Every structure is written in structure tokens, then in C-alpha cells.
Amino acid sequence: MVGRGATFQEQDQSVALMKEAGVQMVRINTPWHALEPEQKGTYDTNLLGFYDHIVPALCSNGMRCIFVNATTPYWASADPAKYTNSQGEHWNALYKPANFTNYADFLVFLANRYKPYGSNVFEIWNEENDAYFWPPAPSATNYLAMLKACYPAIKQADPQALVINGGLSDGSSSGVYLNTLYSNGARPFFDVFSQHCYPRNPSSESVVFGNRSVMVSRGDSAKNIWVTECGWPTYTNASDPNAVSLATQAQYLNDLYTRLAGYSYVRAVFWYNLRSFDETQHEGSFGILFPDFSKKPSFNALKNWTTAASLSCPPSISSVQRLTDGNVRINFLGTTGLVYKVQSCDLFTNWQTIQSNLTSTNGAYLFDDLAATNFPNRFYRVVWP
């Protein structure tokens, strides 16, 4: 994800580094309250200059833009506590708009302005199932009204654009919220389902699989999932269980991307974010770059992952044999030098890696599952990268 506030030189540096890392899509924060601050139809031309520079730069380097916003300007806000005094306007910028058409018109403005550089993606709000981003409390039916206002307006402006829901936060209520959206007719109003995933357990992203089950049960299995935010902070704080070392962040990035790539319906994953702005605090230390643009180990982890993923070399299982001792031998073909993982499960859910970093002889791989006798039923797959 790329935020605002950089110089053109810093923007160009960011674009070059993202291209080096193999990035194909970039999530860009486009704050409505800052871009159209005073009245409808009047835009901050200085701030627009930021987007007028970076959007063409990204698109010309083969990257697609996702525009995301979760703020409302004072004039459009439904915040019941907003007021003005001698110091200016006061309101919660995260409060929803009083009129969703005004928000849709803002997104149409962006669609028309930037469609000459390629068809882009519009993410409607952000973590709307969390009270922080949808005060005073989340409402799936109210959010759906926003989605219904924005979807047809954007499609009319740019029929090739994609419209996705605001990435849901990964709390326990995510599935309930999604179910309510479907119950109220949301299915035709988003092209891709967007979910955030910040695993508290580095090997678990159950919210993705849980919401996939909701989609399947609602007859929406043809629709893909994008994980539009994920990551771990690298600031030093012993009381924060999610704070990790630089090396661990790199390892977690590689492992999470690899696990999610094993699911055909997860078609895109976005790390939050590109560049840290303050390595001494939680929110400021998620980047794969330090504030001075030097690379964290996670930058190289992403670069190596995308390089491997771009190769056309999927593995192929050639045989699965039950050995005389009751264990199982798996033979598969792949590309010498690449890392493959053997995963297993008992009911086609909750796949677990049971072997990685296998070596081969001329592309032929062999793995003996010495724990097979402990399971009455066991299924296998080989994943890469």
C-alpha cells in the first residue's frame, strides 16, 4: 500500500522498488476529506498532483491501482457531533457520508480522471465491519446502501473497472457481517471479495477460509478473494505479541504468501505496507522498506517469492504408494532448485505443511510420510512456491 505525502522523487523511488519486487497491483489511499475538502466539486489541486504523478508511473510500469478511501469531508459527513468554531471544523472524518451519492460521485471523479492510464480498482470504504471505521457501530445493511450507490456509478464511468468491498477486518464477526450482506442482496454489487488478514498465529488465516465457506454457501464460489491487507510490525515492544524481528517478518511474509497461494480462489495478496514511517511504533513499522528506503529482509523475501511464482513450473504428483510398513510414499515432478511443500489434511480443510525444502534428482522429488499410520484418512497435495 502506498500513502500520500511523498515528493515526486520519493514516488519514483517507490515505483522503481515495487517494480523490482515484482508487484503487480498497488493499493493507494485516496482520502476524500482531503481531496474534496470544502465543497462538492472543488478539489485540492496540490494533492491531486500527487496522484497525477504516481498513477501514470505505476500503470506505465505494469501495475494496476486500487483506490481506497474511508474518510468523509466535513460538508458531506453524517457525524451528529460535528461543529465549527473559531478554530475551524471539527468532526470524525471516519464517520460515513450523509448522502452516499456524494461518495459515489467522488469515486466517479477518480475513475474518469485516471481511466486513460488503465482500468483500475475501487475499494469501497475500509474495515466497515469495525466500529472504528463505521462509527458508532457497524451496520451491514447501511454499508450495503453505500455499495449499491457506488457500484453502478463506477461501472458506468469505466465498465472495465473492478469494484470490491472495503476489506473486512479479521475479527470474529467477519463471517456474520458477510452473511448479512448476502442476505440483503449484496452479491451483484462487488466483483471480488476483499478481506484483511493479520494472523495472530503465524500459520493461521482461518478468517479467509471461513468467509470462503460463506461465499460457497451463498452460491458465489466463482468470485475470487483478495487479501487486501496483511503484515507484521517490526518495532520493538515485548508487550505486543504481533511485533516481530526483521528476519521473522521476512519468514512470515514468505510463509503466508505460500500458504494463501495454495488456494485457487485467493488471487491477490497485498502487504501492508511498502515503507515504514516510524520504526519505533506499531502502525509505523509494517513496511518492507525502512523510512530511508533501505530494504528490510522482507523486501527480498517478497522479491524472491514473486520471482518464483512467475515461473511456469507447477509440480505434478506421479504416484502415491502405501509402503509395507503402513506409511505413504509420494513421488512428484517439479523443477530442480525450486522449493516445494507437501501438505496434508483429513477432510480437505485446514491443510498443514508436513515437509518443505525438498531436494530433487533431475526434477524428480520423493517424500515418505512417516506419520501416515496415525491417520485413518489422509489427503495430500504439493504446493509451490
Q: Which of 322, 321, 309, 320 is nearest to 383 (CA)?
A: 309
Task: In whole angstroms, give the CA distance from residue 188 to residue 186.
Answer: 6
Q: Quick one: pLDDT at residue 98?
A: 98
Q: Quick one: pLDDT at residue 328?
A: 94
Scored b (16 or more CB within 10 A) or e, 194-228 reads bbbbbbeeeeebebbbebbebbeebebeebbbbbb
Q: Quick one: pLDDT at residue 385?
A: 65
Q: Which DSSP letter does residue 367 get?
A: E
> Cell 470474529 belongs to which residue?
172
Q: Quick one: pLDDT at residue 250?
A: 97
The answer to whether the CB of 384 falls within 8 A of the CB of 334 is yes
Q: Which of 81, 69, 58, 65 is nearest to 29 (CA)?
A: 69
What is the arrangement of strands in the sheet containing 266-269, beginning at the earlier edge strand?
A: 193-196, 225-229, 266-269
What does the block give as the cell for 113?
Answer: 480522471
Q: Quick one: pLDDT at residue 5?
A: 57
> Cell 485457487 belongs to which residue?
264
Q: Quick one: pLDDT at residue 134?
A: 98
Q: Which of 183, 305, 313, 208 is nearest to 250 (CA)?
A: 305
Q: Judging by DSSP bridges, how do beta strands 316-322 and 328-333 pair with one another?
A: antiparallel
Task: In whole angstroms, give the CA distance from residue 78 to residue 41.
Answer: 18
Q: Quick one: pLDDT at residue 335?
A: 73
Q: Which of 262, 256, 193 is nearest to 226 (CA)?
A: 193
User: How many C-beta atoms surround the C-beta of residue 186 within 10 A?
Assistant: 22
Distances 69 to 27, 162, 218, 352 between C-alpha atoms, Å: 10, 15, 28, 36
Threshold 0.75, pTM exceeds: yes
Distances 278 to 236, 282, 289, 292, 355 between C-alpha atoms, Å: 12, 8, 11, 10, 37
Task: In whole angstroms, give the CA distance from residue 139 to residue 307.
Answer: 41
Task: In whole angstroms, give the CA distance from residue 298 to residue 248.
Answer: 9
What does the block give as the cell for 82?
Answer: 460535528
Task: In whole angstroms, give the CA distance from residue 256 to residue 261.
Answer: 8
Q: Quick one: pLDDT at residue 312?
A: 60
Task: In whole angstroms, give the CA distance from residue 231 to residue 282.
Answer: 11
Question: Mutual orientation of helices 297-309 and 246-261 as an angle, nearest 10°?
Answer: 20
Dihedral pair phi/psi, residue 226, rounded to 5°: -115, 130
> Cell 500520500 belongs to which residue?
4
Q: Quick one: pLDDT at residue 141?
A: 97
List of the chain residues with pLDDT < 70: 1-5, 311-313, 336-339, 348-349, 357, 359, 385
Q: Which amino acid is at 58?
A: L
Q: Which of 7, 9, 12, 21 is nearest to 273 (CA)?
A: 21
User: In the structure, how many helices (H) and strands (E) does the chain have?
Assistant: 9, 15
Q: Quick one: pLDDT at residue 346?
A: 77
Q: Which DSSP letter does residue 205 get?
A: -
Task: In whole angstroms, give the CA distance from residue 209 to residue 148.
Answer: 26
What does the block give as the cell for 139?
Answer: 451496520
Angle at 338 between CA 333 and CA 341, to 5 degrees: 70
| Per-residue pLDDT reduced to its tens digit, 298-333 | 999 999 999 888 766 678 888 999 999 999 999 988
